[in-house]
Amino acid sequence: MNCELAHERIVLAAYGELPDEQAHELDRHLAACPECSREREQLLALKTLSMAYPVIEPDPNFVTRSRIRLEEELDALPPKSWYERFGQRILNNFSNLQAAPVAALLLLIVGAGAGTLGGYEFAQARAAHAAGRASAVPIAKADPGPVVPAPSAEVANISSIVRQPNSEIVDVTYNQVVPQHIEGSLDDPAIRQLLMLASANASSQGVRDDSVGLLAAECRAGHACQGAGIRDALMVALRYDKSEAVREKALQGLQPYVAEDMRVRDAVLEALLNDRDPRIRAAAISELEPVQADTGVRRVLSTVANSDNNPHIRTVSRQVLSRAPVFQ
């Protein structure tokens, strides 16, 4: 081994990146080469000196402050339109079909078809637009004032701006969000669908709270809560929602299904292990008590009894464990 190679291997060894067989070879070289041996000492000295500028853990207030600012900026972003979300979902689903040539071919056909249709509609629109311009009636775009979007509709985004050559006329294509209102019973599938969307996506905690509360009440009352993803929506809210109040309602809504649905039971166990609010962890324990004979439940309760950082949670877990019969 020459010294230049040895110098590189000294660096790799110092950072734990040298394979064992090369490390042995390096040791033999260093034993016989004082210059390389000094090189290693200097590198180790550098590592020691570098500790004078240590990595510090960010202060919790700094982390919180940064997170709050980020949340404000995210709240201020316009929501993605339905077709952007739909398009993204299509892309994500088909990105997993790299080994499925037939499906990929279908995608190509569908895409070509959509493109053809889109092109046809575009051509129709252009023809209508050209016909409109050719008419003697002055069109709205010629007016000094812009065409005002419908008063009840918000502009979601602008998809294109084209200035006509040698002209003051500008073509603007925009998409509108039209607020809608719907009224119906909680059994109405459309109402349920909107409540489930709101439980995961509403930026206002109050709206999420209301939607999760209504869905949870439906489940607790024993109304149809099986298909249609209502339980899934409650489990997502229990797992991810930022608000303790929303997570608590989701947990209450899932209570009737802890015994019969293993996914719900796992979601409640996860809340017991991971939720940062001790009230939610305590509520999870009481919901799991009827199924404490499940060995998986007992193991989690045992973990929590030993390691939860809240003394009340540890005590309650032990009490539940002590009341249950032990199965071999």
Partner 1 sequence: MDGPDRAAERLQARAPEMELIREAQAGSRAAFDALVRQYEQQVLRLALHLTGSEHDAEDIYQEAFLKAFRYIGNFRFECSFYTWIYRIVTNLCLDQLRRRKTRREDQAVVLDHSGDEIDILSSVSDNRSFSNPAKELDRKVLGERIQAALSKLTPRERMVFELKHYQGLRLRTIGEMLNTTEETAKNTLFRATKKLRTQLAGLR
Q: Which residues bind partner 1 (CB under 8 A)?
A: 7-8, 11-12, 15, 17, 42-43, 45-47, 49-50, 52-58, 62-63, 65-67, 69-71, 73-74, 77, 80, 85, 88-89, 91-92, 95, 200-201, 203, 236-237, 239-242, 266, 269-270, 273, 295-297, 299-300, 302-303
Find the DSSP H helices in the chain: 3-14, 20-32, 34-50, 60-76, 82-94, 101-134, 189-201, 205-220, 230-240, 244-254, 262-274, 278-288, 295-307, 311-323
Angle at 155 between CA 149 and CA 161, to 5 degrees: 85
Residue number, 164 or 302, with CB nearest to partner 1 = 302
Contact (Cβ atoms closer than 8 angstroms) between residue 312 and residue 285? no
Tokens for 80? 């993605």
Q: Which is nearer to partner 1, 44 or 140 (CB)?
A: 44
Q: What are the backbone angles phi and psi of residue 204, rounded to the nearest 5°? A: -85, 130
Q: Which is nearer to partner 1, 56 or 182 (CB)?
A: 56
Q: Smallest distance from the beta carbon of 115 to partner 1, in angstroms?
A: 21
Min separation Cβ 160 and partner 1, Å = 20
How far apart are the C-alpha atoms of 298 and 78, rounded to whole Å?
A: 46
Contacts of 279 (CB under 8 A, 6+ apart): 244, 248
Residue 8 has φ and ψ, to the nearest 5°, of -65, -40
Q: How far is the CB of 161 from partner 1 (least distance, A)?
A: 21
Q: How far is the CB of 241 from partner 1 (least distance, A)?
A: 5
Side-chain half-sphere CA neighbours of 77 within 13 A: 8
Q: What is the DSSP letter of 260?
A: T
Residue 4: CB minimum distance to partner 1, A: 10
Give the 3-state secondary structure of residue 176: strand
Closer of 116 and 306 to partner 1 (Cβ): 306
Pick 92 or 167: Cβ nearer partner 1? 92
User: Of the two residues 100 and 140, which places its CB atom closer to partner 1 in the complex?
Assistant: 100
- Least distance (Å) between residue 140 CB and partner 1: 35
Compare residues 164 and 274 and give the one whose CB is closer to partner 1: 274
Residue type at 225?
A: C
User: Least separation, in Å, of the C-beta of 228 and partner 1?
Assistant: 17
